Structure 1
Amino acid sequence: MNRPELDYYAVLDVPRSATKQQITLAYRRLAIRLCPHRDKKDAQDFVPLAQEGRLSHLSPMAETKQWAYVNMAFDVLGNDLHRAIYDRYGEAGLFEGVMLPNGYFPPYQYHGNHMKVYESVFGSYSPYANVIDAITNPPSLFTSKYLGVGVRSKDANTEKIIQLSLEEVRSGCVKLMHVWRQEIVDAKESRLEKRKHTLKLTIAPGTTAGTRFCFKEEGDRYPATIPGDIIFIAADKPHPEFERRNLHDLVYRYDIDLSQALTGFIFFISTLDKRQLKIVITDVVQPGYRKVIPLEGLPKCRNLDAVTAIKEANKEVGQFGDLIIEFNYIFPTYLTPTMKSMTREFFREFHKLEMELQEEEAKNML
């Protein structure tokens, strides 16, 4: 962003405590003066009404720039989620994206179609269609029917599950999501066509299952309704070696035999980021025994104020979960009589030595 941050409330000339109706009313009054498609002949009939929306706070700028800023300001403040992000994080957070408790909010980008914003409020390409009713009795922006000012209902949201590998969760990634949606190809005839649309999805390191990524109003484009949101919900893809536990811990299971359980052993684990961990077990591996390797789990993804890229996200993630190693005992399925006899003899000698060791320790304690 190569300009100073805009104060959207100042652009619309409303206080920060303004209600949604007050913001919509302010936009309508400014639009009467600034809409480039206004008819000067009609404008003469609306001079007193138009003058209510005083423009002294924007007058130093060219009228085209005023019109652009007014529409951008309303596109943000007229949307509850965009307004909440702007109020808390400013334009920087709005344009860079933020990690929220219920999921990642992708970077906002103004579409640049000022008349799209205008028509969403007035329901007409004419800047004076039903304007008196709109000013004197402003309706709710979203409703289920036309109310004489062309206010449109919003389509239902579309939710899609996105499977993430643990490698993607470990390092973070950017995924291009291709969706098919209805788009208007002939506005006059209201002709629709299904077209492929690409959405950029930024996965922060440590993203947890159930995280929701919301793309506002990216659904089907129907003439009479506002597009619904497209929401991607993160889910863990099954992994052949690891399993996620407690959000950020990893579980690895290793098979051992009785000899290893009693005498110890060494083995290696290939991590999600392609390293080799050497694991040395010197303890007797009893039932329920676990080996915990600190900080070898998944990143602990916190609510970052601004996640601009995977590189920046990695700088903020300073903590990791643990790697928990659990052991499965593998017993032989068959022993010959000779093998059974050898095993009995071994454990007889083993228990004899164990008793002698305990007696020796008891004497040393006296």
Structure 2
Amino acid sequence: MNIWMVLIAATAVSSVLCNLLIPMAWKTALVDHPCDRKQHVGPVPLVGGLAVYGTMVIMMMAILPLDVNIRLFLVAASFMVLIGALDDRYDIDAGVRFIAQMLAAAVVVFGADVQITQLGNLFGTGVIELGAMSMPFTLLCIVAAMNAYNMIDGIDGLLGALAMVAFAGVSMLALMHQQQLPLLVATILFGALIPYLIRNVGVHFRPVRKIFMGDSGSMLVGFTAVWMLVMLTHPEQLLESWFEVSPDIVPVRPVAVLWLIAVPLMDMFAIMTRRIMKGQSPFKPDREHLHHIFMRAGFSPRQTLALISGIASFKLVLGLTLEWFNVPEVIVLSIFVAIFVLYLLMLKNIWTIVSWVRQKRDIESS
């Protein structure tokens, strides 16, 4: 099927679902209310994730042969979206949510045998095989990604933009390595996010009602992203029954996929490290994320969205370039770690940086 037709169809289906789900949100009280951490105006329907999920299910069932791997993925995704929607409505305990995330991940890891079995030649000494650690490591990666995208969802448009960067990256890597399945799934999700992003950031070229993604959507994005990254790096696990394994299909090196989700991943690990060092729970909500820091420096929410999206896009292009030129994995990893260390140093000295930025902006405006 033509990839552009898939994109257009997914966008159209998502737009229709957004319109249909908004009235349902009001009837079921599935809305987000302002509070100390949520400074939006008035209640906002939490149906963005449901629209993206519905689009994904409809499109995948329409264009993909549903083998056992795809069916188990859809079952696990459905369970995760249900838990996320219940969390949006009733504010489920963090421990219960974590158990639900592990169960959803277990469906694809143990049920479909989808797992990260090796990490590539990261240190120049040969491929690192995970062996018995493959399954627990994959579970950890899936749960980490779900929480990373959940944590980054702090200002209008940010989650949607970063998700679109990740899925665009999946599509590009899939094209580079001739992998049809991740290309189709990533295109579906990219298209599904377009109507959501328009409503979420309030692009008023026509009257639209604002919506939020909700926990159902943020966890779906993280869950699906890792599932597709495993497809890219381990295509033999998902091509057995309905895509013939071709000699032309080359697995993506595991270190390359880190760049697709670099911003939410770095933000999550950095903020959790800071909380632990303060003696707090790593899952305690606060206003210390990257987008909060930019806004404290005097940037508007739209400027912050543009800056962080630009950073994510830069990292994506850098990662794709390194993969295209087949730069040794040890060098790719070193660059990634160096950027992460720079980010940690920035956070450690953030108030000095914020004060400097404010002074500079005050001087320029005077």
TM-score bracket, shorter-length normalisation: under 0.3
Normalized per residue, the structure richer in strand is 1
Normalized per residue, the structure richer in helix is 2
Between 1 and 2, higher relative CO (CA 8 Å, sep ≥ 6) is seen in: 2
Relative to the length of structure 1, the TM-score reads 0.25
Relative to the length of structure 2, the TM-score reads 0.25
